[in-house]
Amino acid sequence: MAKRSKNVDEPVCSWCGRPGDLSQMRYLVPDGDQQNFICTECIEMIHGMLADEAPTRSKKAADDFRKKMTGKVPAPHDIKSFLDKYVIGQDQAKKFLSVAVYNHYKRLMQTKRNADDDVDIEKSNILIVGPTGTGKTLLARTIARLLDVPFTIVDATVLTQAGYVGEDIESLLTRLLQAADYDLEKAQRGIVFIDEIDKIARKGDNPSITRDVSGEGVQQGLLKLLEGSVVNVPPQGGRKHPEQKMIPVDTRDILFICGGAFEGIETKIAQRMNSHVVGFETDTERKRLTDKQDYLRYVAPQDLRSYGLIPEIIGRLPILTHLEPLNREALLRVLTEPRNAITRQYEKLFGMDGVKLTFAPEVLEFVVDKAIEYKLGARGLRSIVEAIMVDAMFDIPSQHVDSFEVTLDYAKAKFEAAHFEAASVAS
């Protein structure tokens, strides 16, 4: 109950007991029931106390994080073993990711107790180059699952410079804050996966009367985020809520993983390596480069610069690795082996209705052959299986059966009835 002054009808501050005084710019702010009040002077005092304790709370959160992570971060071999459970193949990329993530979290655990140690471990962001459907997003998502940190995926194609139609670059961190339930300390140690990074490549070297606001302009804006700085982030997005209070986010401890298909970069690699040789004799290395699928393994920073990335952003992505196209054997393994394999997902869906689902081996080979034929990669496997299974998923829950086997004849009939081939040709 609020204290009252001599005038029983005049409310007073529940903290200091003083009434409101307009001459001294002291106002009373009531609670929801209009029973208790607090004056503006007490509000300012409380705000100052919280501001003074903010650095202490921040340091305590960092110390708690180090204690939590001490002895918990798995070794690179363990990280790769975990990735093997969810991602098929791509051993070279897994090795690069495992070492980079391990070193990144060792960097977060470093302390300043030794005054003589003036070595600061710099952050190593990662750039993954690979065709669509080879597992770029899945690798980043699996890493975040292992380390139990906030993780968000952002599409670079929607980003533009501030003031233009599209999303501001700070929206990357807005989504990370949302993934961390607006826990600032937790978000500042998260992982951001920027997909389709190749779509913000410089559109051309020729001068233009129009600004490249979704290409080089976005690259320039990403520099401060990738390197590490304090960025004012609108918690609800800056376009629709311009009046909101900004949240300062320090990006020094945020790991950025960028991925892109870089369609056509094989040509840049071939030109750099001079694989088109005029003459009667070539060395063994150049003869081996006649297969374009081998080009990506030789990708280098100068190829990215020729493609359209500016040197500054290439320098802030020091770890460069590639994903190899999945062959027939790897696609077959993708269907059955991972923890969240496509066939296991459908078996679980049918199992929830009490139906045991089985796939004939030749059905899996049929699905893989179609994915290779249409060059869809691993991502296209689910589309093909969905086209085959949609009728069964519609009918079987009402038929009260105990088991269902997908045969090759059934798969071919349903695949043709779905007009998948015509849709693929049209696209």
What CATH number did the domain enclosing 371 receive?
1.10.8.60
Domain count, the chain: 3
Same domain, 77 and 193: yes
CA–CA separation, 153 vs 151, rounded Å? Answer: 7
> What is the phi/psi pair of residue 71, to 5°?
75, 0
One domain for residues 42 and 89? no
Residues 314, 332, single domain; the answer is no
Residues 47 and 75 grouped into a single domain? no
Q: Is residue 40 included in any domain, yes or no?
A: yes
The structure tokens listed for 102 are 């391990």
What per-residue confidence (pLDDT) applies to 369?
A: 92
State the pLDDT at residue 391: 93
State residue 112's pLDDT score.
44
Same-domain pairing of 24 and 164: no
Domain end residue (candidates: 322, 337, 368): 322
Residue 129 sits in a domain of what CATH number?
A: 3.40.50.300
In a domain, 87, yes or no: yes
User: Does residue 286 lie in a domain region?
Assistant: no
Domain boundary among 280, 307, 322: 322
Q: What pLDDT is stored for residue 71 in this prediction?
A: 52
Would 291 be classed as within a structural domain? no
Q: Looking at the structure, do residues 75 and 19 belong to the same domain, yes or no?
A: no
Q: Let me know whether 25 and 96 are in one domain.
A: no
Residues in contact with 116: Cβ distance below 8 Å, sequence separation at least 6, in sequence order:
none
Q: Is residue 66 part of a domain?
A: no
Helix (H, G, I), strand (E, B) or coil at 33: coil
Both 223 and 336 in a single domain? no
CB 117 within 8 A of CB 246: no
> Rounded to whole angstroms, what are the CA distances from 54 to 38, 57, 247?
23, 5, 14
What are the pLDDT tens digits along the chain (427 aa)? Answer: 344 444 556 788 888 888 887 766 677 888 877 778 888 888 888 877 777 665 555 455 545 544 555 456 788 999 999 999 888 888 999 999 999 888 877 877 765 444 456 777 788 899 999 887 788 888 888 887 887 788 888 888 888 776 566 677 888 898 899 888 888 888 888 889 998 898 888 766 554 545 666 678 888 888 888 988 888 888 776 555 566 788 899 998 898 999 998 988 888 888 888 755 454 445 554 445 545 556 888 899 999 998 989 999 999 999 999 998 888 898 999 999 888 899 999 999 999 999 999 999 999 999 999 988 887 778 889 989 999 999 999 999 998 899 999 999 999 999 988 876 544 544 4
**Residues 169 and 94 grouped into a single domain:** yes
Last residue of a domain, one of 56, 83, 99: 56
pLDDT at 117: 61
In a domain, 62, yes or no: no
Residues 3 and 44 in one domain: yes
Name the residue range of residue 16's domain.
1-56
What residue has token string 């979704």? 214
Q: What is the DSSP letter of 123?
A: P
293 within some domain: no
Same-domain check for residues 92 and 233: yes
Q: Report the C-alpha gap between 370 and 384 in whole angstroms.
A: 8
SS3 of 158-188: HECCCCCCCECCCHHHHHHHHHCCCCHHHHC
Sign of the Cα torsion 320, 314, 155, 252 reads positive
Residue 267 located in a structural domain: no
pLDDT value for 72: 64
Q: Are residues 335 and 226 in the same domain?
A: no
User: What's the CA gap between 146 and 82, in Å, rounded?
Assistant: 8
